[in-house]
Amino acid sequence: MDDNRLGTSVSPYLRLHADNPVDWREWGPEAFAEARERDVPVLVSVGYATCHWCHVMARESFADPEIGELLRRDFVSVKVDREERPDVDASLMASASAFTQQLGWPLTTFLTPDGHVFFAGTYFPPSPVGQVPAFRQILAAVLDAWTERRHEVDANASAIATAIRQGAVADATARSGEDGGGADPGLPSVDAIRAVTGQLAAAEDTTHGGFGGAPKFPSTPLLEFLADAAADGDAEADGLLDRSLHAIRASELTDADGGVFRYATRRDWSVPHYERMLYDNAGLLAVAGAEQARGIAEFLRDTLRRADGAFVAAQDSESTIDGRRVEGEWYRRPLAERSRLDPPPLDDQVLTGWNGLAIRGLAIAGARHGDPELVALARGAADAVLAAHVQDGHVTVRSSTPAGVSSAPATIEDVGLLAEGLLELALATGEVSYATVARSLVDDGLAERFQVDPVLASAGTATGEQPQTAMRSGTVGLASAAAILAALTGDGALRDAAARLVAARALTGTERPLGHADALGVALALQRPSREVVVVTRDADDPLRAVARSARQPGTVVALVTPEQARAWSDVGFSLFAGRDGLDPAAYVCHDRVCALPARTADAFAEQIA
């Protein structure tokens, strides 16, 4: 039998396990074919490169030669990087929910050779802790069930797979509008969406800020909804947002260099879980004030940015100090002292979707706060991702690292979030080339041109994208991008498609906003009348641009262009810009494509958008 096969993996997480005594395989049909031939179960362990408890379980269990021998003898063992393979992670998470509600990473699952989960959990310690059994005990129990009660294993695995398959069909039906929605896709009403603020107010931690108890997460999709509701005139949402952002900014969750940690383990935002994810920081950029946004952007620039301009996925919680691997110690040192120590390693994956999220956050923050460096950072990331991950207007690469290009298929996260990011960058810079690529990506997303993993397809357990709590979902990004394109082109079918994408998610969000807020802001925008604002000026300091910063609200698209750029947009089919190249400066305010006379002064413009 071959040895551990992870040494040449593109994924940094998989490479971390290349020296384990476990005979690891990468996810794919070959591993399951081997399990079928040997008639053994498949252990699939899912994690990511900066996951602290993944590191702990690796040191405690996967580095143990005796456990390695047991796994080689009685299992086929597969390692999955959840960042590289969100499709696999989503499917296994859906199955794991049948066994535990305490989902997270590391995710430990046991599958039949047909790809059906029959037992799952998360971190298992080397010795029993309370009601949590040791990993060795889990392996023994799984093996006993496999050899002595195979009919029960097969029946349970089949039932879980059937439930997942039925859920996936229901989700697809809701997206397509085949449930009778048709032209009326069933978006929740404005009143229902605005009522969510009251639910969040009731859940607010009025002592420490944020929502709920420990652990405390930034929950950027929820903060984005509050920002949208506040821009829509909801004063209560504005207060909730301001207090939450202040708590994040003033607490240990924000590091001295401006970067924000993944979560705090205590209710008062103290004792962070020290890993720093690109998606948390990118999401906060879209809602933060000028000072907070600048700090986050500097962290992205100085720590997560590669030389080509793209951003890597994360920075680890652990570092090596005095020859010992420790969690958080580097971050607890003063900045001056840190510079003399080796920093925590980076998860060096460039993920298309996560970079799209960063491009969006930087472009929004740069335009809102009049900070050209943030827009330049967004442009640098966009150019790098377009050069390496996109070909002829189609995402061809989800993940790449210095070790190479991953074979993992692009997902709706990559297409939707990159399309939305490119459109926000196009609106902030006036560069139509970014919008042209975004238009092609939206076409791909709406046509669902995504590869389905062969193992998941054969097992019938491909779930599609799951609801998001930690970051904006690709489905929501795609819907937002489609709505923006509808405003720029006058194509009402794109607006209808956006509504279909988010209707069911938004309805769930009105009922359970703490865990399902990611579609609410887009749903609110779609329920508001469309308003399009075009500011035309060659002067980067023109007062019209300053007024435009206050125009962003649900249902409004704001574009900043020069006369030459306006002509370029019009030439490639963005009809909103037709005839907008004749006056400089000028601001055009349109409602459902019916435009007022151009405003030539800041006061006249402000009066039109009031």
Cβ atoms of residues 304 and 277 within 8 Å: no
CB proximity list for 572: less than 8 A, separation 6 or greater: 432, 436
Nearest to 16 by CA among 61, 60, 47: 47
Position of tokens 């075009």? 534
CB proximity list for 223: less than 8 A, separation 6 or greater: 241, 244, 245, 283, 284, 287
Cβ atoms of residues 7 and 26 within 8 Å: no
Cβ atoms of residues 503 and 174 within 8 Å: yes
Q: Is the pLDDT of residue 182 over 70?
A: no
**pLDDT for the residue 161:** 87
Q: Is the pLDDT of residue 172 over 90?
A: no
Percent of the chain with pLDDT over 90: 89
Residue 339 zone, left/alpha/beta (φ > 0; ψ -120 to 50; rest): alpha
**Antiparallel, parallel or unpaired: β 586-591 and 531-536:** antiparallel
**Antiparallel, parallel or unpaired: β 318-321 and 324-327:** antiparallel
Give residue 327's identity as a one-letter amino acid code: E
DSSP classification of residue 317: S
pLDDT single digits (tens) 115-124: 999 999 999 9
Concatenating the DSSP letter of every residue in 63-108 gives T-HHHHHHHHHH-EEEEEETTT-HHHHHHHHHHHTTT-S---SSEE
276 three-class SS: strand
Cβ atoms of residues 42 and 111 within 8 Å: yes
Position 3 confidence tier, pLDDT thresholds 50, 70, 90: low
Q: If you average pLDDT over each of 3-12, 270-279, 591-600, which comes out highest?
A: 270-279
What stretches of 260-360 adopt beta strand conformation (E)? Answer: 263-264, 272-273, 276-277, 314-315, 318-321, 324-327, 346-347, 350-351
pLDDT single digits (tens) 85-138: 999 999 999 999 889 888 899 999 999 999 999 999 999 999 999 888 999 999
pTM for the full model?
0.95
**Antiparallel, parallel or unpaired: β 76-81 and 42-47:** parallel
**pLDDT for the residue 164:** 82
Q: What is the arithmetic mean of pLDDT over 211-221?
A: 94
**Antiparallel, parallel or unpaired: β 556-561 and 531-536:** parallel
Q: Is the pLDDT of residue 49 over 60?
A: yes
pLDDT single digits (tens) 230-265: 999 999 999 999 999 999 999 999 999 999 999 999
Position 24 confidence tier, pLDDT thresholds 50, 70, 90: very high
| CA–CA separation, 379 and 220 (whole Å) | 22
| 347 backbone dihedrals φ, ψ, rounded to 5° | -80, 105
**Angle, alpha carbons 4-9-13 (nearest 5°):** 90
The encoded tokens of residue 22 equal 């476990």
Cβ atoms of residues 106 and 46 within 8 Å: yes
Nearest to 221 by CA among 509, 485, 511: 509
| CA–CA separation, 588 and 363 (whole Å) | 21
Q: Is the pLDDT of residue 576 over 70?
A: yes
**CA 160 from centroid of its chain's CA atoms:** 26
**Antiparallel, parallel or unpaired: β 276-277 and 314-315:** antiparallel
Q: Is the pLDDT of residue 180 over 50?
A: no
| CA–CA separation, 471 and 277 (whole Å) | 10
Q: What is the arithmetic mean of pLDDT over 262-289?
A: 97
Nearest to 483 by CA among 396, 554, 399: 554
| CA–CA separation, 162 and 90 (whole Å) | 16
Average pLDDT along the chain: 94
Q: Is the pLDDT of residue 2 over 60?
A: no
pLDDT single digits (tens) 457-475: 999 999 878 766 789 999 9
Q: Is the pLDDT of residue 181 over 60?
A: no
* 533-558 core/surface letters (b: 16 or more CB in 10 A; e: else): bbbbbeeeebebbebbeebbbbbbbb
**pLDDT for the residue 183:** 39
| CA–CA separation, 435 and 437 (whole Å) | 5
pLDDT single digits (tens) 302-318: 999 999 999 999 999 99
pLDDT single digits (tens) 389-439: 999 999 999 999 999 999 999 999 999 999 999 999 999 999 999 999 999
Position of tokens 């420790």? 326
